[in-house]
Every structure is written in C-alpha cells, then in structure tokens.
Amino acid sequence: MSLMVPGSVAVIPGAIQRYRNRDTEHLFRQDSDFYYLTGFSEPDAVLVLAPERSHGEVILFCRERNARAELYNGERVGPERAAEKLGVDDGFPINDIEEILPGMLEGRERIYITLGAYPDFDKRLMQWVSAIRAREAGGAIPPGEFHALKHLLHEQRLVKSALELKAMREAARITSMAHERAMRCARPGMTETQLEAELVHEFMTNGAHTPAYPSIVGSGANACVLHYVDNASVLKKNDLVLIDAGCEYQHYAADVTRTFPVSGRFSKSQQALYEIVLEANRAGIDSCRPGATFSDPHVAAVSVMVQGLLDLKLLQGELTEILETDAYREFCPHNSSHWLGSDVHDVGDYRVDGAWRELEPGMVLTVEPGIYIRDDASTGALAPRWRGIGIRVEDDVAITSEGHEVLSHAAKDVSDIQQLMAEGASL
C-alpha cells in the first residue's frame, strides 16, 4: 500500500472455480497475486486495499459460512473470522460486494487492478464505476484511472522472501527425488504414463498435492515436441526419455527437466549430444549472479551448444556468424530461462527501459538449454543416429548476494544417471 499513489484503491479478485464437466470441478487453485497477499485459498473472494480508509484498509470479501455447503466441501473461514484468521482489517460477505465495494471506489482517483484476468469481474467493476459516474452532477467523484497492479505487485513477487525461498527449495527437493525415482523405475516396455505415475507418487507422498504444470514425459522423437503431454507412447530400449516435471509445494513451483536413456546406458551419439546440453546448463548456471542480466545464462548456454554442434559437424560455419544469424534455431528453438515462483512462468518484467533486466538476490529463474533433432530435421547430411533425439537439462536457480544457489539436485552427470539406473534395474 505504501507504493500506491495517494487517493487510490487496489482490487484483487481471487480465482474462480472452474468445471471440467457438468457439476464436477477442477481442483481449485487460488490466483497467485491474491494468495501472495492473503494466504487465503477459498474461491469466490476479492481483496481490496484502501489506504487510509478509517474503518480498515485491508478488506476481504469472502463466502459466508454455511452448514450445508461446509458438509460437502469443508470448513469456510467466513467474513466474521477473516480478521482473526487472515490478519485483514475487515471481512464482508462476497454476496454483499455489490452494495459495499462501489462505496470504497468512490472518491478514489485511481484503481489498481489486473484487467483481463477475470473478464466477468472486470465488467462488474466497470458497471460500478459507471454508476458512480452517473452521479457526478450530484457531487460523486468517480475513479478516473485504471492502473496495472503488476507494476507494484509483480515487482515484489519477483524478489522472493526467505519464506518463499524455503518453499521453493522444498518444491525443488521433492521434484529432484521424483526425477531420480523415474530414473530408477524406467524400463523398456513401460508407457510414458506409467513413468509419469512414478513422478506423481513421489510428489504426493512428500506433501505436494499437484504438479505445478502438466508433466512432460517424452521418449524418442516425442521429446522434440516441446510441450508434449500425451505421455502415451511405449518406452523403447534405444530411446532417450525427456521428463520435464515439477511439483507445486505450498503454492510454489519447481520446474526441472532431466533426460536419460531408457536402457540405462547412453549410446555414443546420445551421450555426445547430452554432454553438450549438460555443459550448456552448467555454463548458464555459472553466469547467474547479481549484476548479470537475465539473458546472460541464455547467451552462455547457446554459445556452448553451437560450439558443440560445430564440433560434431551437425552445424557448419563460424561460431559468431551462426550465433548472429540464428542459424542454430532449428536445433535450439527456445530460450533458456524464465522467472520461477508461485507460477511456473512467474511474473516480473524481463526488460527495464528496453534493456535486459539485471539479476538481483532473491530472484529465481530456470536454466534450461535444449537440443532437439527432429526426425524430419532439414539438415540433409544428418545421419539417422542423430535424428529423433530431444534433450533438455533444466534446473532452478536462486540468485544470492554471493552468486547463486541451485535449488534442484537430481542427478545429471552421465555416470550418476547410469549408476542410479543400474541400481534401479537391480531392484
């Protein structure tokens, strides 16, 4: 609230309950902005920040208690207990928002809100503002400005507190165990779905109820489909399998990718490509430090990958020229990092005044270089042994005052992976 301009109000709606079919709901997941400010995970809620409002500045609208509804769906906090349980100043029934919220907007020059996130709510908000405007001749002062909440809130979310880092460390720890479990359990003849089940088992037994995003388990050429989630193919002995999966723990995400051979042993060509991606991952991580820019890990990773592809003669030409012309994009089509936090692709600007943002302690990003050689890769001279291979190695990295802390520790050296898999095969 201290960042808001005088005479303003912020309105932050919670997520809405969505249905997967008829009366069956998707598992509810609270809106990350709303949760960051409240820690409140019930649907049908709106938070209002009204600095200098004499009856309370932090106001929560939420569902009233209801014995019948609570019989089916569990206990509600209810407006009467909101102050005591959540530390807000005041609680009101969500069903009364129509009567109460317009009064909180009246006389405030600016409304901070994320427009577009909840269009139905936006529409109602506009109607309330219009209603105030209609009374302007009678002295009512309608808000004149809508301002993106993100300029204030997402800057805060971008820099994680000690408590948030603790949750992220745990999310990454559980996720790393899940990846190693998958390495131990993988066998030719299994389906990708069965391997996914091993990940989910590890997430849930360790207190993470859901993945932070749909798990990608892609064997063979499926690994070249960047967001492959069918996970329906059978694992073949000579294929690699790429797993991009992370759990959500206490509302914070991990996002980790490992790639390993179904048989437990990398072939020569698989290992050659894998070592390049691993070296790129390490080079990217090494460049994570305060004062470096967001793009530095990507630049470092891509240089390593292009040099590696040149050494293997999978690319021809001169390093700097290839980097400048994007000629490597067929094999390395995506960027190597994004912010990580409550959302897997977390909030926060990547550029400031047009320039890549400087990394600061408390920021968390992924480093995830990848090489993908599709079956139909256009480079004609490619021998078949290179085709249908997708490799990504993704870690979660927190910037610290000294440099960085890697949060994810799943095995990634060739020898460590092969050893884990050999142990798993003997079980």
Interface contacts to ligand GLY, rule CB under 6 A: 213, 244, 255, 338, 368, 394
CA neighbours within 13 Å on the CB side: how many for 262? Answer: 22
Residue type, 212: A
CA neighbor of 361 nearest in space, from 284, 267, 264, 290: 290
Annotation says 244 is catalytic? yes
- Residue 244 CB, shortest distance to ligand GLY, in Å, is 5
Annotation says 345 is catalytic? yes
Residues present in the chain in total? 427
Q: Considering the candidates 36, 228, 249, 372, report the single residue annotated as catalytic.
A: 372
- Residue 338 CB, shortest distance to Mn ion, in Å, is 6
The residue among 304 and 340 lying less far from ligand GLY, judged by its C-beta, is 340
| Two structure tokens written together for 42 | 């019930």
Q: Considering the candidates 196, 244, 343, 395, report the single residue annotated as catalytic.
A: 244
C-alpha 141: how far from its chain's center? 40
Using Cβ positions, the residue closest to ligand GLY within the complex turns out to be 244
Q: Residue 255, interface with Mn ion (CB under 5 A)?
A: yes
Annotation says 392 is catalytic? yes
- Residue 243 CB, shortest distance to Mn ion, in Å, is 9
The residue among 42 and 394 lying less far from Mn ion, judged by its C-beta, is 394
Q: Considering the candidates 18, 26, 329, 345, report the single residue annotated as catalytic.
A: 345
Annotation says 368 is catalytic? yes
Tally DSSP H helices, then E strands, for the chain: 12, 21
Indicate which of Mn ion, ligand GLY, none lies near residue 265 (CB less than 5 to 8 Å, by partner kind): none
- Residue 392 CB, shortest distance to Mn ion, in Å, is 8
Q: Considering the candidates 392, 395, 396, 404, report the single residue annotated as catalytic.
A: 392
| Two structure tokens written together for 174 | 């559980």
C-alpha 283: how far from its chain's center? 22
Q: Residue 396, interface with Mn ion (CB under 5 A)?
A: no
| Two structure tokens written together for 97 | 């928002």
Span of 85-93, 188-196, 364-372, 399-407 interacting with Mn ion by CB under 5 A: 364-372
Annotation says 227 is catalytic? yes
Annotation says 255 is catalytic? yes
Q: What angle do CA 105, 35, 87 make, to 5 degrees?
A: 70
- Would you tell me how many other CB atoms lie within 10 Å of the CB of residue 245? 27
Sequence-separated contacts (24+) of 352-357 with Cβ below 8 Å? 355/293, 356/293, 356/294, 356/295, 356/296, 357/293, 357/294
Annotation says 416 is catalytic? no
What Rg do the C-alpha atoms of the chain give, in angstroms?
Answer: 25
Cα end-to-end distance, the chain, whole Å: 57
Annotation says 228 is catalytic? no
Indicate which of ligand GLY, Mn ion, none lies near residue 213 (CB less than 5 to 8 Å, by partner kind): ligand GLY
Annotation says 239 is catalytic? no
Q: Residue 366, interface with Mn ion (CB under 5 A)?
A: yes
The C-alpha torsion from 224 through 229 and 235 to 240, rounded to 10°, is 30
Q: Residue 248, interface with Mn ion (CB under 5 A)?
A: no
Q: Considering the candidates 42, 170, 248, 255, report the single residue annotated as catalytic.
A: 255
Q: Judging by beta carbons within 10 Å of its beta carbon (0-12, 13-18, 19+), is residue 87 exposed, middle or buried?
A: exposed
Q: Considering the candidates 98, 334, 360, 375, report the single residue annotated as catalytic.
A: 334
Is 35:343 a contact under the CB 8 Å cutoff? no
Q: Considering the candidates 33, 44, 202, 368, report the single residue annotated as catalytic.
A: 368
Indicate which of ligand GLY, Mn ion, none lies near residue 385 (CB less than 5 to 8 Å, by partner kind): none
- Residue 285 makes CB contacts below 8 A (sequence gap 6+) with 297, 367, 395, 397, 404, 406
- Residue 247 CB, shortest distance to Mn ion, in Å, is 12
The residue among 14 and 218 lying less far from Mn ion, judged by its C-beta, is 218
The residue among 12 and 223 lying less far from ligand GLY, judged by its C-beta, is 223
- Residue 227 CB, shortest distance to ligand GLY, in Å, is 7
Of 42, 44, 198, 244, the one binding Mn ion by CB under 5 A: 244
- Residue 356 CB, shortest distance to ligand GLY, in Å, is 18
Query: What's phi and psi for 122, nearest 5 deg?
Result: -55, -45
Indicate which of Mn ion, ligand GLY, none lies near residue 343 (CB less than 5 to 8 Å, by partner kind): none
Give contact residues for Mn ion (rule: CB under 5 A): 244, 255, 366, 368, 394
Q: Catalytic positions, please? A: 23, 227, 244, 255, 334, 338, 345, 368, 372, 392, 394
